[in-house]
Structure 1
Amino acid sequence: MTDQAVDTSGTAAGSAAGWATGEFFGRQRELKALRADIERAGLDTISGRKAPRARVLLIAGRPGSGRTALAGSLAASLADTYPDGALRARLTTPGGERVPTERTARALLDDLGIAAPPGAGEDELSEMVRDALSVRRALLLLDDAVDAEQVDPLLPDNSDCLVIATSQGPLTGIPDVRPCSIGGLESGAAVELLARFAGAVRVTVDPTAAAALAEECGGQPAALVLVGGWLTARPKSSVADVTKQLHDMPFDSAQPTGSRPLARSFRFVYESLPQTAARILRLLALAPAGLADAHTASALAGCSVSAAQSTLDDFAGLGLLRRDGVLYEVPGCLAPLLRALMEDRDRPAEVQLARARMLERTVRQLQSCRATTEPDGSAARKKMAGLPRALRFPNAFTAAEWLRIRQDALLASARIAVEDGELDTLARRLVAALVRALAAHRGTEAAAPELYGLHRLVLAVAERCSLHREQAAALLNLADLDAQTGRTQDALVRYRAALDAGRAAADPYATARAMESVGGAHQDLGDWPRGADWYGRALAQRLARGEHADAARLYGRLGTVHTYAGRYGDALRDWRAAASGHRRLGDLAGYARALSEVARVQEYAGRPEESMRTCQEAVEWARQAGEVRLRAALQLRLADTLDRLGDPAAARLHRSAAETLLEEEGSTCEIRSSSARD
């Protein structure tokens, strides 16, 4: 693998192939030392114990020192040693905030192809990562760690794995960590890097000036790339001229000593930009997850998409951005400098307006993305047709790819918008549009982990703005996902909170839905009396509002709870009420299913003859409703009942009838004959 010695790492977990950005210069001594550290015996080995965890190599250096590139080059050189692959995660956002371990672990699990349960906590997810790596020989690169607390939960309990971590300082608390501190490049490698941009001729004709320029940049790869990019854009400028101009620029005394060469080189390049381009560059500090495209830059600056695209290409040529496919990434070492410039040069109102334009553009793109899944002639399609051509997608596949590539940035945009708290209306629209787009293209089950986080964002905004109806909806969605993943107690707490919010909003739908869900949670916990009580409350509200279809369904849920509790008389009453409700509504299939449940309860109650008669009636109604699979299931139940009554010949006839029905249906699913209570 080749790689520039520049700290331009990404923001999420990714494969080793994604680390390559160009050529790798110098650092041979450090690479040799790191490889030697891998072979050297650890403290556990010396003491005669088997190493309980993966070995950790630490590359310590300032942002811009090339620590990420060095880690990537080392990882690439070890690819054959770790056949189960390499994983990467960045532990700090471009804005300098710690990435929660929960998010890092979820990204790593996604790269491993392991489905993480939505709403799972940090401990559960990090344990899943360790378990997955415990049976693999893999390499894990943890980039830009703030401290040992970010690294320790992710360390594999497997000495066959290797962890390479990058950080500004030591990772105190992790035993037997192998540190490698790096500074600037050696003079020869620094000049070689300059020649890569400025051209060999300009460096060869004045090697003294090139060495002096490398010294002015402190040998820092990021600073050298910036100055080299500037030289590339100005082929008539000499290396000596640039060296003199850079030397004459004062250092920023507010910066730490080790960061001053990079800050000065950045300021040198920035001040050479036209005013409009300089403003676009400053506003890229607002790009979510440090990722931008032409639409992002266009919305931030209020310029055309084509002008924004051209400007982004120029920035990439200058080393101010790193291009990754259709996206441009703000290097992590430059993000703080951009933010400081924006806060100094742009008024808060202008920054807020730029952020609002970016969010509005994103909302419209998400709406257009979702509309591609709608049928032709639908309202969403008509609305999409009215959008500018640049915001429309030609087909659903293109829209899905756009959503996949930008998912990390879109999720970051939603988080930032909610945390900011200044544009709550836009934040709510953005989250809602993202939820709909993910559900439409990926399905609610596949996108459940992302949807869980988005529902939490909706809840945060709703609570802050006292929007009780949205609060109830978010709580119900979160509780449903909790219940689906087995966290029934958590779901119960959220359902009760949703009930309170629904009552505060005077929302009868949310109130009834919450009461029914509370009953369902108690049912899942085996608390039949409370389950029946809450179903009864929800039923009373449905009956009072004349919602007969929902009332019929709730009668059935009450019948189920009573059946589980062994109260067969109450169960028969409720299932008959459910059957009556479905019949009044003209729902023949629902009526047949309710009768089948009446027959089941009669069988449990020790009344097989009544069960047979009811079951035969249900078969006839299922036939009229065209429910072939239900008819087959009922025929099998009749066969089981006849077996218990001592009539195997009749039982065989019913089983034969069930098989014939399924053959005619062409079903590949198997319905087993069983008398177990379900």
Structure 2
Amino acid sequence: MTDQALDPPPARPAEDAPAAAPLPAAASVPPVRSEVRSEVRSEEQPEAQPEARSDLRPEMRPEMRSDLRSVTRPEAQPGPVADTLPPGAARFVGRIRELAELRAEISRPGLAVSHGESPDRARVLLVVGRPGVGRTTTALHLAHQLASRYPDGRFFLRLTGDGGEPIPAEQTVQELLRAVTGRAAGSPPGTPAHRPAPAAPAVPPSADDTGPGPGDANTDRPEPEGDVPAPADAAGALRKAFAGRRVLLVLDDVTDAEQLAGILPETAGSLVVATSGGPLPGIADVRPSTLGGLSTAAGIALLAQALGDTRLTNDPRGAESLVQEAAGHPSALRLIGGWLAAQPRLSLSEAAVRLRAASARSLPAARATDGLAPPELLAQAGSEAPAVTPAKTRTAADDVPAPPAVPGELVRAFRLVYETLPGTAARMLRLLVLAPAGLVDAQAASALAGCSVPAAQSTLEDFVAGGLLTPGSQEAHYLVPGCLRPLLRGLVDSRDRPEDVRLARARMLERTVRLLLSCRAALGGEAPADGLPRTLRFASPSVAAGWLESRLPALMSAARMAVADGELDTLARRLLAALVRALTAAPAATPTLTERYDLHRLVLEIAERRGLHRERAAALINLADLDAEAGRHTEAVARYRAALDAARVCADTEAEGRVLEALGGAHLALRDLPRASDWFGRALALRQARGELGHQARLHARIGSVLTYLGRYGPALREWRSAAGAHRRLGDVPSQARALTEAARVQEYAGHPEDALRTCRDALYWARQAGEQRLEAAVLLRLADTLDRLGDSGGAALQRVAAQRLFRPGEFPAV
């Protein structure tokens, strides 16, 4: 018995799809007798063929297999080279020595060569330095210089989360695998780069937003096919994808060598450029390239980008003093350059004096054990309200490793710039650190600061000009520099009351919900909600899809933020519901497997915190479905059992029926056929009590398949006949014909070929009534097999000739 023979397709509710829909064309072309099975079975019915009667299985000859592949599997066309590298700096200055050392490191013979061995993995270059010194900029500049050497793909991944937490290697492998192969591990062959979104997690309805329920759980989950690995073996799939390819990886902000487990290509022709705050013990044969401050000449060139050559030429000593006071720190010099550009009357010498004076204010070291700079770090800024230091309670963020110390020269430069900002602009700047994933646009800034969208856009552009924000990969999208986030968090902690911060966060999340609802309406071709401002509307479905795909990481971060707050559960539930609906309407913006887990875990966290048993059942169902999709069937069974308890507590019989059938499918995947039959039987009893004929037809077929595997042909025959009767009452003639054909197969296994012949003739009648030629041809081939068993080779030949006439030329190989 093959493994595939026991893997039934997932169950589908009758309201979503017919219980016995025809198979896709690629799977329904039966070139020979043994392929009849895939045509006559309903889509939910696994092949019923017992191992004990293997002599009844006609085998497909090798030449027919190759013919079938030529019909059903068109040759894949090569696509464009994958390249996810962000654009490099428009005007890169300095780092000539460091770049030369890094390029020389590529050709240096490694330890393996010195020991007389061949290199067993890609060369790893490590760029280290303090925050804001330009590690990422330098790594990307080098990657763009070398891009042509790696024609098989260039990829960029950030290995640190929004709060500074390291991203697990498993999640990174999943994201990289999708970027390299075009689909995540566990996706069926032919799946596009982004798969359709998972079913919606149940979110309770609110006054203006109805959430999906447990019946909307992931019931149409595709099963992995062929040699596509489950996500549990994603690292192996990634190694296979990298085999024989020359790829370039840029891994930004690596905090631990363990994050690189399973990521490094095992091909000597590939290259990995990693950035980190320090050395990474555990990775052999890596020589860190440490970035310090820029040279005086390079620092002046960086200032010239903001101020122009004339102003620097008029005060060369002042320019040198300014670079020296900033210790050549690139981010500090950008801040100072933007600040000076807005003050054309201020001389460079005076600016250097002010920067030097800032260091005399006894600033503490800019390190915060909880991710926030000390309240006194930037006290007395402009005309702002007096500082209020709230008492902090320990949260999950307290477990995040402390960020690296912010360099003193950067702190002084930031302080110099921040003190000159108007009060409203300063408030907006520090609140931008609340933006999910550090990604800011005019909508988010407007909601956080409570101002109009045009005013927010104008202020953001001023921040970019002043070096306080960096342009994002999309137009009108900006990023809060990572080196400034600890300082801004410290300002929020010291300047804003907790209730004001929560209100700003709630405004931003509410704006996000409205944008998601507008996005879903645009994707579905629906009219926007009444009263929706024009600034929240999308011009076309393509614009909405692009926004959703580019904002997906930030949207996931917003959902995590809302749930972690603990006081915004209603808003968090609305956000999750709107996000899932938007993803369902835009299959191109599919979350990764880890993000799908996160979505359902967030729903589960809220449901358990609020005692919402219906939502808890739905979230557990979806999590169990993902476990089953990943091949973790034992874990799936445990989650299904927990979901069953939750469904029974709230008397949700729809969810209970869904779980009972899923438990049967999980035990079937575990090859525990008796338990699978038992759970299917319980599900059938529940569906019969609810009077759901479509579900009954499917469950009769699944029970019939399992009983056939167990060799219990009498009960199996009754189940298949019951399935045929249910399909007849539903008016589903094609499925009725398929069920009768399976019944004939069981009769043949049981040693009753005459009865099988009569049942085949009944199936043939109903197949002709359905008017489906492929189904009729498949039944004819089934009938020919039965006649062969009875010794009527002439009649069998006539049936095959009749079946061959029903296929298009080239689809039916010669036997």
Length-normalised TM-score, structure 1: 0.90
The answer on 1:266 being equivalent to 2:443 is no
Match for residue 253 of structure 1 among 359, 364, 381? 364
- Sort the Cα spacing of 1:383 and 1:195 in 2 relative to 1 into closer, same or farther, 3 A: closer
The answer on 1:156 being equivalent to 2:265 is yes
Q: Which residue of 2 aligns with 1:575?
A: 720
- Measure, in 1, the Cα distance between the counterparts of 2:772 and 2:237: 43
Over residues 612-655 of structure 1, what are the superposed CA-to-partner deviations in whole Å (9 max), with x where a residue is unaligned?
Answer: 22222222223334444332321221122223333344334433
Match for residue 358 of structure 1 among 508, 516, 522? 508
Kindly report which structure 2 residues correspond to 1:455-474, keeping only aligned pairs within 5 A, or say none: 455-474=600-619
- Measure, in 1, the Cα distance between the counterparts of 2:131 and 2:503: 30
Contact 1:417 1:427 in 2 (8 A): yes
Q: Which residue of 2 aligns with 1:336?
A: 486
Match for residue 535 of structure 1 among 674, 680, 687? 680
Match for residue 276 of structure 2 among 145, 164, 167? 167
Over residues 177-214 of structure 1, what are the superposed CA-to-partner deviations in whole Å (9 max), with x where a residue is unaligned?
Answer: 20122211111111111111111111100000011111
Over residues 592-626 of structure 1, what are the superposed CA-to-partner deviations in whole Å (9 max), with x where a residue is unaligned?
Answer: 33222222211222222222222222222233344
Over residues 193-244 of structure 1, what are the superposed CA-to-partner deviations in whole Å (9 max), with x where a residue is unaligned?
Answer: 1111111111100000011111221210000001111122233332223222
SS in 1 for 2:181: coil
- Sort the Cα spacing of 1:349 and 1:42 in 2 relative to 1 into closer, same or farther, 3 A: same
Match for residue 347 of structure 2 among 203, 220, 238? 238
**Equivalent residue letter for 2:333:** L
How far did residue 248 of structure 1 move?
2.1
- Measure, in 1, the Cα distance between the counterparts of 2:113 and 2:141: 27
Q: Which residue of 2 aligns with 1:11?
A: none
Q: Which residue of 2 aligns with 1:404?
A: 549
Q: Which residue of 1 aligns with 2:312?
A: 203
The answer on 1:293 being equivalent to 2:402 is no
- Measure, in 1, the Cα distance between the counterparts of 2:771 and 2:563: 50
Contact 1:636 1:673 in 2 (8 A): no
Count of residues in correspondence between the two structures: 652
Match for residue 113 of structure 1 among 181, 192, 195? 181
Match for residue 302 of structure 1 among 431, 450, 461? 450
Q: Which residue of 2 aligns with 1:515?
A: 660
How far did residue 672 of structure 1 move?
8.5
- Measure, in 2, the Cα distance between the counterparts of 1:357 and 1:553: 47
**Equivalent residue letter for 1:195:** A
- Sort the Cα spacing of 1:453 and 1:18 in 2 relative to 1 into closer, same or farther, 3 A: same
How far did residue 385 of structure 1 move?
5.1
Kindly report which structure 2 residues correspond to 1:441-456, keeping only aligned pairs within 5 A, or say none: 441-442=586-587, 450-456=595-601
- Give unmatched runs, 5+ long, in structure 1: 1-13, 376-380
Contact 2:177 2:185 in 1 (8 A): no
Contact 1:599 1:612 in 2 (8 A): yes
Q: Which residue of 1 aligns with 2:692?
A: 547
Contact 1:384 1:392 in 2 (8 A): no
Kindly report which structure 2 residues correspond to 1:78-93, keeping only aligned pairs within 5 A, or say none: 78-93=146-161
Q: Which residue of 2 aligns with 1:182?
A: 291
- Sort the Cα spacing of 1:164 and 1:178 in 2 relative to 1 into closer, same or farther, 3 A: same
Deviates more, 1:268-277 or 1:15-24: 15-24
- Sort the Cα spacing of 1:102 and 1:457 in 2 relative to 1 into closer, same or farther, 3 A: farther
- Measure, in 2, the Cα distance between the counterparts of 1:507 and 1:662: 47
Q: Give me the CA root mean square deviation.
A: 2.7
How far did residue 259 of structure 1 move?
0.7
SS in 2 for 1:203: helix
Q: Which residue of 2 aligns with 1:502?
A: 647
Contact 1:16 1:76 in 2 (8 A): no
How far did residue 659 of structure 1 move?
4.0
Match for residue 118 of structure 2 among 50, 65, 71? 50
Over residues 373-427 of structure 1, what are the superposed CA-to-partner deviations in whole Å (9 max), with x where a residue is unaligned?
Answer: 435xxxxx25535422222223222211111111221122223323333322222
Q: Which residue of 2 aligns with 1:4?
A: none
How far did residue 293 of structure 1 move?
1.1
- Sort the Cα spacing of 1:373 and 1:448 in 2 relative to 1 into closer, same or farther, 3 A: farther
- Sort the Cα spacing of 1:304 and 1:514 in 2 relative to 1 into closer, same or farther, 3 A: same
Deviates more, 1:563-572 or 1:631-640: 631-640
SS in 1 for 2:280: coil
Contact 1:55 1:161 in 2 (8 A): yes
The answer on 1:490 being equivalent to 2:635 is yes
- Measure, in 2, the Cα distance between the counterparts of 1:86 and 1:427: 36
Contact 2:121 2:267 in 1 (8 A): yes
How far did residue 167 of structure 1 move?
1.4
- Measure, in 2, the Cα distance between the counterparts of 1:349 and 1:554: 54
- Measure, in 2, the Cα distance between the counterparts of 1:300 and 1:483: 41
Q: Which residue of 1 aligns with 2:140?
A: 72
Deviates more, 1:627-636 or 1:142-151: 627-636
Over residues 459-511 of structure 1, what are the superposed CA-to-partner deviations in whole Å (9 max), with x where a residue is unaligned?
Answer: 23323333221122122223223333433333222222221221122211111
Q: Which residue of 2 aligns with 1:223?
A: 332
**Equivalent residue letter for 2:759:** T
- Sort the Cα spacing of 1:438 and 1:520 in 2 relative to 1 into closer, same or farther, 3 A: same
Match for residue 496 of structure 2 among 346, 366, 383? 346
Contact 1:298 1:305 in 2 (8 A): yes
The answer on 1:30 being equivalent to 2:139 is no
- Measure, in 1, the Cα distance between the counterparts of 2:593 and 2:148: 35
Contact 2:335 2:468 in 1 (8 A): yes
How far did residue 444 of structure 1 move?
10
How far did residue 290 of structure 1 move?
0.8
- Measure, in 2, the Cα distance between the counterparts of 1:445 and 1:343: 35
SS in 2 for 1:56: strand
Q: Which residue of 2 aligns with 1:421?
A: 566
The answer on 1:194 being equivalent to 2:303 is yes
More contact order relative to length (CA 8 Å, sep ≥ 6): 2
SS in 2 for 1:112: helix
Q: Which residue of 1 aligns with 2:43?
A: none
The answer on 1:524 being equivalent to 2:669 is yes
How far did residue 670 of structure 1 move?
5.3
Length-normalised TM-score, structure 2: 0.75
Give the helix-richer structure, 1 or 2. 1
Q: Which residue of 1 aligns with 2:706?
A: 561
SS in 2 for 1:136: coil
How far did residue 445 of structure 1 move?
8.4
- Sort the Cα spacing of 1:606 and 1:83 in 2 relative to 1 into closer, same or farther, 3 A: same
How far did residue 570 of structure 1 move?
0.3
Over residues 56-79 of structure 1, what are the superposed CA-to-partner deviations in whole Å (9 max), with x where a residue is unaligned?
Answer: 222221011112222222223323
- Measure, in 1, the Cα distance between the counterparts of 2:230 and 2:322: 50
Deviates more, 1:548-557 or 1:358-367: 548-557
SS in 1 for 2:407: helix
How far did residue 116 of structure 1 move?
2.1
Match for residue 466 of structure 2 among 309, 315, 318? 318
Q: Which residue of 1 aligns with 2:765?
A: 620
**Equivalent residue letter for 1:484:** E
Deviates more, 1:29-38 or 1:222-231: 29-38
How far did residue 458 of structure 1 move?
2.0
- Measure, in 2, the Cα distance between the counterparts of 1:496 and 1:646: 51
- Sort the Cα spacing of 1:538 and 1:372 in 2 relative to 1 into closer, same or farther, 3 A: same
- Measure, in 2, the Cα distance between the counterparts of 1:16 and 1:523: 41
